Amino acid sequence: MAVQLPVTLTPSIFATNGLQQLSSGQVGGMSQVVTMIVDNTTNNVPITVVHGALNEVIQVAANTQATVPTFSGQGYWPWQVLATNGAPAMNLNPTLILLNYERSSGIYRQTSNTIQNTGENSSILYSGIQSPSGNITTTLVAAGPAGSVWVFDSLEIVFEDIQNNVVGLCDCLLQVGVNSAAPIILDTLYGVANIEAANAGIGAFCFPSYRTWPQGLLINNNGNIFMKISNSNNVVGMDIRINLSGYNIPAG
């Protein structure tokens, strides 16, 4: 038997959890959950799932489906799903599929016609440190020639530090994308830091984000490549490392 558990994450609520009662309508009457399938194939950002009686953790990459064993507790199967990199730019709709039988573990990655083989043309498009002081949109790479398109093969974004002018928490949302006028988001990272002394920056409390597209991610747009900081709270400065590689394909 299989039971689907749809999940919705939003920019304002990017973590959710539940406790499914076994032998009830919540799980189709199943008395145990033995296997979990995490379907993240429709989402362009990674998610993290904490599941089962042992509170095991699995991170599922963007556009990926994962099958893993899981264990029920005494009468219940607990779960938690969160956006790995913090608040997403748009709603996410992953699905948990619960099985009462064993199934081989595995990873399936969704591909589409937006994927194109990279080659010797690939190079570093941007590599450097950005140091904004608050909400801002900055061009990292100028727009390509009219009619051209972008192909990307790797993106790294890291909060090196965040500064605040008062003691306490500060946070912001970082996005990297194409065409700042009508954004196509490549990745999103939520930066949080706890400042122990005023005007003293410390390491941001978030994981770096590393994305790779071994066959190349084709973006059918020639717009500028940009970085956007938004939703800043108590932030007066930050240092962000960005590394992006790929190339531009001319029209024709």
Domains contained in the chain, CATH given: 2-109 (2.60.120), 123-249 (2.60.120)
Please report, for residues 14, 77, 140, the alpha-carbon distance to residue 80 in angstroms, rounded to integers and kept in the order given: 11, 11, 36
As a whole number, the mean pLDDT across the chain is 83
Q: Determine the Cα–Cα distance for residues 27 and 36; give it in Å rounded to an integer.
A: 12
Would you state the pLDDT for residue 138? 96
Q: How confident is the model over 123-137, as pLDDT tens digits? A: 889 989 999 988 999
Would you state the pLDDT for residue 198? 53
Name the amino acid, one letter, at 242. Answer: I
Phi, then psi, of 200 in degrees rounded to 5: -115, 110
Q: Determine the Cα–Cα distance for residues 150 and 172; give it in Å rounded to an integer.
A: 27
Q: Determine the Cα–Cα distance for residues 156 and 244; give it in Å rounded to an integer.
A: 6
> Cα 117 vs. chain centroid, distance in angstroms?
23
Full-model pTM = 0.53
> Cα 205 vs. chain centroid, distance in angstroms?
16
| Res 173 pLDDT > 90 | no
Q: How confident is the model over 98-117, as pLDDT tens digits? A: 888 888 787 766 544 333 44
Q: Determine the Cα–Cα distance for residues 48 and 84; give it in Å rounded to an integer.
A: 5
Q: How confident is the model over 22-31, as pLDDT tens digits? A: 888 777 788 8
